[in-house]
Amino acid sequence: MSKNWSYTIHEEGHPHNGKTLWSGRYCAVCGVVLFYNENTGETFALANKRGNGTPDYQGFWNLPCGFLEANESGQQGVAREVYEETGLDVDSSLFELFGVETEPEKSNNGNVSIRYIAYLYGTELPKLKYKNINGEEGEVEDVKWINIANQEYAEYEWAFNHQEILEDLYNTTYA
C-alpha cells in the first residue's frame, strides 16, 4: 500500500480546520563538499553535527542538506544550505549533479533528494566560521572537515544515508 501524503488540519480558528489537504513529497538538496589537500593527497568531506533544534537525528552528523526553496535552482539551494550550516561560501556553479534519490523508503520522510558535489583544492583546509547563518536556531551543533582518505567518517554516527554516500566516495577514490 502506498503512503498517503494528505493531511487534515486540526486547529480551531484555522481557515482550513477539519479539511483534508493534499501534500506532495518535499524536495531536499544534499551537498557533498570535498577538499583535496594537494600536499598530502588526502580528501576531506565537509560535515555538520545536527543540533537540538532539528526535528530528528539530533547529535548525528550529516552532509549539509535541507529543503529547496521556491526561488532557487538546485545548485543555488545546495550552496545556500552549505553556507547556512557550515559558514563555507561555495559558488553555486561549482556544484555538479551527483545523484537523485526518489525511492520513498530510502529518503527521510519520503523526500526526493537531489545530491550535488563540489570539489575544492588547496594546501590548507578552508576555515569554517559557523555562527547560525540564516538557519534555524539550534540547527547545527558543530562543523568540521572529516578525512575520507583514512575512513575517519566510520567513527561518527550519521543521519540519513550520508555514511553510505561517503563510503561510496571512498570506494571509488581509494579502494
Q: What is the pLDDT of residues 36-85, one digit of tens each?
A: 999 999 999 999 999 999 889 999 999 999 999 989 999 999 999 999 99
Mean pLDDT, the chain, rounded, equals 90
All three cell numbers of 113, joined, read 533528494
pLDDT under 70 in the chain at which residues? Answer: 1-5, 131-132
At 54 the three-state DSSP class reads: coil
pLDDT, position 164 = 93
All three cell numbers of 55, joined, read 526535528
At 4 the three-state DSSP class reads: coil
* Amino acid occupying residue 88: L
pLDDT, position 1 = 44
**CB contact at 8 A, 52 and 58:** yes
